[in-house]
Amino acid sequence: MIKQKSRLIFGIVAVLILVLAALLISLFQQAQRSKIPADKYCEKDADCACGVHIESGNCFYGNKNYVNVMQQCPDFCTGIHGRFVIKCIDNECKQVFGKIA
């Protein structure tokens, strides 16, 4: 009987620890998102684009909703070497070297 109660208590404590860990992870992710400007925020690579910022008119890479892709900046977007790609890394659109084809 005591062994069963110990197992039950252990199980409850384990579940509580897992729930607390999930909450802490969620809070951390929300805090990280709030540090990323909306025009750079992404959840997947497809959220990112490169072209001209819709407000400033400057060459820009970031969230596709803030990019006019009809106006391109080739040397800015892909680099003179043509190897830059825009990726979603840690919920932020970033310019990185792509693989050589």
* pLDDT tens digits along 34-92: 689 999 999 999 999 999 999 999 999 999 999 999 998 989 999 999 999 999 999 99
How much is the pLDDT for 52?
A: 98
Rg (CA), the chain: 22
Beta strands in 1-101 (DSSP E): 48-53, 59-63, 67-68, 84-89, 92-97
* pLDDT tens digits along 6-39: 788 888 888 888 888 888 877 776 655 568 999 9
Using pLDDT thresholds of 50, 70 and 90, give the confidence band for residue 5: confident
